[in-house]
Amino acid sequence: MNYFSSNFKLGILGGGQLGKMLLTETRKFDIYTSVLDPSDEAPCKVGSNEFYIGDLMDYDAVYNFGKQVDVLTIEIENVNVNALEDLEKIGIKVYPSSKTLRTIQNKATQKLFYVDHNLPTAPFSRFAYTVEIEDAISNGGLNFPFVWKSAQFGYDGTGVKIVRELKDLENLPNVECITEKLIPFKNELAVIVARNPSGEIKTYPVVEMEFHPEANQVEYVICPARISAAVAKKATEVALQAAQAFNHVGLLAVEMFQTADDDIIINEVAPRPHNSGHQTIEASFTSQFEQHVRAVLDLPLGNTANKLNGIMVNLVGAEGYTGDVVYKNIETIMGMDGVTPHIYGKKQTRPFRKMGHVTIVNEDIVEARKIAECVKNSIQVITE
């Protein structure tokens, strides 16, 4: 198949920042792209060859869009899986597959998949509705503290809450959910695995994530993780096992906890380019976005090694600001060595909305972390 400067068409479901960064790579290779997104102001509107507006959860919108492309991929999990399944039946290549997405979309089925495939994960219970949890607590079937997770549509800290007492259950949506035992952990780690349909598989170096204490969003992604070689090896092996269990094609970001005893357990996975891989654009020989394109088109996978140590800082809307975005002090951070801002193209900011990220590369990870702190303290995502 000739993908380059040809009639081949790659379809992308979702037009957000991940899609925008994918389009940088498709434009580099002159691969024709078609994007579907519900918003007329989606970041992908600018970089795609064709842009369509439609609801990603609507069967007809997804099916009719998918019929027009040769290979269909995603930048967001919340898409109509029935449409993808029917597209596969008429010969459209869909990566990741509808089967994989169906499992991953629901946190309860995702957790059961880990158990069925002997993949390490935290003990959990599933509930049809949040209101059922109180009964489980009163009859001794569930003990504090635990983590409540909405089974569907949770992201970036929404749909997740640590429950330490009964009143923490108040104001939670009454939806299908799971509860997980609260695991004391040393580190949150992630490994991105790339796999193509021919079965070639590669992993990126293990990253460590530092979180914002209130927003439950990643503040820093540090690559390579500051962990022992033995822990890094264990994390990589678990990530590879997960990708092979899913028979995954594309990128699979495997988020994990390093426990107090240095065991590795899977928190959750994302079957697409991921926040924990943004530093690869500047720090790696092959960015995660180029790798995703290579993987879904069954091209040889690129080198995943680091050229330099990399740290990624998320740019999120400051509290108390909603409206037309201004990146205050962006010139200051651009004057720092090894610092590259990425602006996603969202015109409106609001508290904690992901508006961009900044990559810091340096030969010394300690120095990189110091610069990252300066970046974090300098730039502000505000309004006029």
Q: How far apart are CA 381 and CA 228, in angstroms?
A: 36
Q: Would you state the structure tokens that stand for residue 370, as one six-digit string?
A: 């110091």
Let me know if 335 is exposed, middle or buried by CB neighbors in 10 A (0-12, 13-18, 19+): exposed
Residue 107 is assigned to a ligand binding site: yes
181 is in an annotated binding site: yes
Please state whether beta strands 207-211 and 201-203 pair in parallel, antiparallel, or not at all (unpaired): unpaired
365 is in an annotated binding site: no
Taking the C-alpha atoms of residue 219 and residue 216, their distance in angstroms, rounded to an integer, is 9
Q: Which amino acid belongs to residue 97?
A: S
Q: Is 182 annotated as a binding residue?
A: yes
**188 marked among binding-site residues:** yes
Sort strands 339-343 and 354-362 into parallel, antiparallel or unpaired. Answer: antiparallel
Instruction: Return the residue matching tokens 């065991």.
Output: 263
Of the candidates 226, 236, 289, the one whose C-alpha atom is nearest the C-alpha of residue 266 is 236
CB atoms near residue 80 (< 10 Å): 21
Is residue 178 within 8 Å of 150, Cβ to Cβ? no
* Amino acid in the structure at residue 244: Q
Q: Is 251 annotated as a binding-site member?
A: no
DSSP 169: G
Q: Is-contact 223 279, C-beta < 8 A?
A: yes
Q: Is 183 annotated as a binding residue?
A: yes
Does the annotation list 268 as a binding residue?
A: yes
Find out whether 111 is annotated in a ligand binding site. no
Pairing mode, strands 323-328 and 348-349: antiparallel
b/e per residue 133-152 (b: at least 16 CB within 10 A): beeebeeeebeeebbbbbbb
Coil, helix or strand for 133? helix
Structure token pair of residue 273: 């380019």
Annotated binding site: 107, 149, 180-183, 188, 267-268
Annotated binding site for ATP: 107, 149, 180-183, 188, 267-268
